[in-house]
Structure formats: C-alpha cells, structure tokens
Structure 1
Amino acid sequence: MKKWIVSVVLLLTVGLLAACGGEGNGKKIVVGASSVPHAEILKFVQDKLKEQGVEMEVKEFTDYVLPNTALEEKQLDANYFQTIPYLEDFNKKHGTHIKALDGIHLEPMGLYPGKEKAPEPKQGAVVAIPDDVSNGARALKLLESKGWIKLTPGKELNSLTKQDIIQNPKKIKITEMQASMLPRAINEVDYAVINGNYAMEGGLTFDQALAVENKDSEAAKTFANIIAVREGDENREEIKKLIQVLKSDDVKKFIEEKYKGAVIPVF
C-alpha cells in the first residue's frame, strides 16, 4: 500500500514538473498590447498561432508605460503597441533592455477639432499633443504640414520638440499630455493631435480629422508599430512564429477591411 502511494506521488510530481517545463520551454506566450488595434489583431491570429503549437494570452494595457515595464519584469514575453523611436527613448530613460523586432502596422496621427471646429485656428488657440518625445514630434510635424507652425529645418524627426517652433503666426499654445488622455480631453482644448489607436478607442473617425499623416511621409516610414521582446529573446521560436502569422495576407486583409485606413499594414 505504501509503495503504491509513493508511486502515485512520484508520478504526480513528474507530471507537474513536466507541465512546468512545458511552459518554461515557451509553449505559451503572454503578449501585452493596446486594446485597439493591437489586441484585436493579436486575437485574430490566436487560432493560427495555436495551429503552430503556440498558445498566446493577450494582456491589454491602456497606457504606453506599463507594457514595457511588465515586459522588462518578465510578466510578458513580448509586447505590441509602440514604435522604434518611442522604444529607444523609453530604454534610455528607464534603463530597460527591450529590443525591437518587425514592424506590423502604422496608425496615422490625426488633428481633431475640440472646442473649435474651424479648419484654421484662431489667435492663441490651444492644441494638445502627446507628451512623449516621439509622438510629440510626429504631432508637431503634422501641424507643420497643415501650415499652422514652422519647425527648425534639418533636425532629426525624433528630436523635434515645441522649442523648435520658429514660426507661429497664430501664436498657438501647445499643451502636452499623456497620449491616452487626449480623446477624453479633446473638449477641453481647441484642437488635439491624437494617435490612431487612441482616436479609435475614443470613438473618433478619420473623416472628423482636419489633417492626417500621409502614409508616405517621413513620420509614417519611421513610426510603424512593432513587436518588442526582452534582450536575448529575439530568436525565440515562439516569437518568430507570432511574427510569421502576423505578417500574413490574412492579417493584411483583416487590417485593411476592419480599420479602413485608420490602420495601415506595413509588410
């Protein structure tokens, strides 16, 4: 009887260790993402990825900080929400060790009316833009393309700040705030430049925008949304399979049909 009990315990222990070992070998991955469109795109490929032997849990985040800190702290295996310039700036500021992999899509930024609906700003109009370096620079370039301001020529896109405004005929006041807050704050400012994903989450559509990033612009080429992993995980087979299914014709068709230009595949 005692021998039988010992055998059962040993079998259970071996089974438990094998199960843990399976997870450790990466049969399941946890990927952090913004709700729209990143999590929606990831959920679209979950079954395709499972067919390749990889289960994926999608964890949704509402800001641009926690998906990176969670990845660094090994709560995630990868994330999908950011651009290379944003990631480079984040690593520099926070001492994180996160690597950019393939670009999947672009979310063109839009200039949206808030309290003011006119296509041209009044004197002293308040325009809200994202407070992080890369998205703030994109917002300033969009305002320049609209003719509202002029920026220091010749500077790298990702280094532009509001201090680089050299002409401001309407004396526009630039106010910076967290990117995720912009749709909720739009009625408190005259205009706002908003990332595509947050605009969609806030119920804004491109036909409401006064200006939109051109898909062939410098900003569009620089700011594709990427898959990112911790340093050292770049060659994990599970991550390679994830990227493979994301860069498929089915995903391209899904993005084009669902988002109708608000999200653009870059592969």
Structure 2
Amino acid sequence: MRTSTIAAAAGTLALALGLTACGGSGSGSKGSGDKLVVGATPTPAGEVLAYIQKNLAKKAGLDLQITEFTDYVTPNTALQEGSLDANLYQHTPYLKDFNESKKTDLVPVTEVYLPPMGVYAKKPKGITDVADLSEGATVGIPNDTTNEGRALQLLASKGVIGLKKGVGGTATPEDITSNPKKLTVKPLEPAQLPRSLDDLDAAVINNNFALDAGLSPKKDSILLESSKGNPYNNVLAAKKGDADDPRIKKLAKLLTSPEVKKFIEDKYKGSVLPVEAG
C-alpha cells in the first residue's frame, strides 16, 4: 500500500506535542476508572471529541484525553504501539488496508460520521462544476491507496473519467479507460492538496483537510460525495481485543448519541453527516 506518510520526525513531533497538550500518554491499562487517550485529526474528529470532553464525558464517568495528529499514519501506529487507547479519523477500507500493509491488528468499534470527499477548484478560475474543467486540466488526488481509489470513483461518477469495470475502491490512475478531457491526474500527499490548489485546476480533497483549510464541502465543492450507500463512514477504532474495554464502549455510545448527532448537524451544516442510528 502506498500509504500517505509524513516524515517520521514530523509524525513523532505531532505525537509528542499532542501528548504534552493532553497531559500524558495512554494509560496502557483497561478499566472504567482510567483515562482514555484517543487520537484524532483536528477536524472534524478532534472537534467532535472536544465537544464530548467538555459536555458529556464527566457525566458519563469518562476521563477523555485527546491527542491530535496531522497525518493518517501516526495515529494508527500509536494505537498499535499502545500510546493511544483508540482513535477516530479513518474509514474502514483505510483501516483494513493499513492492517494488511503494516501487519497491525486494529478493528472498527462503531461508525460515527461521514466526511464526504469533494472536488474543489480555486474560484478565480471560474470553475463551478466538474463539467467546466478544461481539456488538459490537472486534477490532484490523494496518493494513499484507499483514498486514491475513492477519489477516482468520485470523478468517474460524473463521467469525467472512465474506469475498468469492477475495480471499485482499489482503482488507480492506471485503471482509467476513458479520459474525454485528457485530464492529468496527479496523486499528492492528502494534506498537501488544499495548499496545492493554486497550482492545480482542481483537487479531490478529503473532508478533514478541506475543513482545516477553511473550505466548506457543502458550499465550496464542485462535486461532493453522496451519503447514500457510502462505505466511507469514519469509525472509532481500537486494537483487537480492546473493543470491549468499558471506556471504549462508553465513548462509542457517546459518539452515536443524539447530543453528538445534533452537534454535528449544527456545526457542520451538511459538510459532515452523522451516521443514522440503527
């Protein structure tokens, strides 16, 4: 798997800073009286967890500590190594692919929300729809396996490109079978895509990085994923064997509570979609 990576030093620094900000590392022990250290990307996962920490955790008897990361690899590495008790930032296809490539044993605990992936273009270029892309335009996509395939599927859903039959979420640029606009598809580090918009005609950007960059998926995207039948809901994840940890089960219940659903709906106004109960 060509997993999205940031330099090891940067990942280590992000972890160190996050742990310092939260007052310590994971407890490495189980039990309802211990603090629960959860890793997350800042937006939306970190904000959802911060809402729970401020408004719901104490009443539920949960000592929730949050560690923020700016990449997609370090939170899983930290979870596997035990400095985190759980994390929230990824969908199940990414988690499964990470397990296969890194020989980890992480499991999804519960689905929480869908952060729809979108296609964005700088407004001065006058592009308001993917149909407006000019011939020969350059479109950036995430360079990790699952999100690369997801981005290509999104472009294909509107006929911008055609893909080999049956490739699904494992699609790569080599699977493009038709390209009527002769687009150049450019895989880039997911976190770099918003910063690269000035050098691209458009980019397919993961929801959290779009929000971090001040983009509104609902208002600013020129194409946005539908929630219907979408396999990319983000999940609370834990190490295999820890899913029944009372602290993790307590957090899972809070993450799918009516209060958190309302928080997501009110704060993100359709740019992040809570998973429906049941």
TM-score interval, smaller chain: 0.7 to 0.9
CA contact (8 A) 1:186 1:192 kept: yes
Give 2:192's aligned residue. 181
Report whether the alignment pairs 1:36 with 2:43. yes
Residues 105, 266 of structure 1: 8 Å contact kept: yes
Query: Match of 2:29?
Result: 24
Could you tell me whether the CA contact under 8 Å between 1:109 and 1:194 is conserved in 2? yes
Report the Cα offset of residue 93 of structure 1: 1.1
Q: 1:97 Cα deviation (Å)?
A: 1.4
Cα displacement (A) at 1:163: 1.3
Partner Cα separation in structure 2 for residue 121 and residue 158 of structure 1: 23
1:109-128 to 2 correspondence within 5 Å? 109-114=117-122, 116-118=125-127, 119=129, 120-128=132-140
Amino acid at match of 1:249: P
TM-score, normalization: structure 2?
0.83
TM-score by length of 1: 0.87
Distance 1:96 1:23, change over 3 A: closer
Match of 1:246 among 230, 246, 255: 255
Unaligned runs of 5+ in 2: 1-26
Q: Is 1:107 the equivalent of 2:115?
A: yes
Cα deviation for residue 23 of structure 1 reads: 7.8
Q: In the alignment, does 2:61 pair up with 1:53?
A: yes
Local SS of the residue matching 2:56: helix
Distance 1:25 1:130 in 2: 36
Residues of 1 paired with 2:107 and 2:271: CA distance?
Answer: 26
Assess, with a 3 A threshold, how the Cα gap between structure 1 residues 23 and 89 changes in structure 2: closer, same or farther: closer
Identity %: 42
What is the DSSP-based 3-state SS (H/G/I as helix, E as strand, rest coil) of the residue aligned with 2:180?
coil
> Alignment partner of 1:93: what SS?
helix
How do 1:86-165 residues align onto structure 2 when only pairs under 5 Å count?
A: 86-114=94-122, 116-118=125-127, 119=129, 120-155=132-167, 157-165=168-176
Q: Does 1:79 align with 2:91?
A: no
* Cα gap change, 1:170 to 1:241, in 2 (>3 Å): same
Could you tell me how far 1:88 is from its partner in structure 2? 0.8
* AA in 1 matched with 2:173: K
**Cα deviation 1:127-166 (Å, max 9, x = unaligned):** 00011111111111111122211111233x2221111111
What is the distance in 2 between the residues matched to 1:108 and 1:86?
15
d(CA) in 2 for partners of 1:232, 1:259: 33
**Of 164, 183, 193, which aligns to 1:172?**
183
Whether contact under 8 Å (1:116, 1:191) holds in the other structure is no
Match of 1:12 in 2: none
Aligned length: 242
Query: Contact 1:126–1:189 at 8 Å: present in 2 too?
Result: yes
Q: What amino acid maps onto 2:45 in structure 1?
A: H
Task: Name the counterpart of 1:207.
Answer: 219
How far, CA to CA, are the matches of 1:116 and 1:202 in structure 2? Answer: 18
Contact in 1 for aligned 2:30/2:245 (Cα 8 Å): no
Q: Which structure would you say has the larger Rg?
A: 1
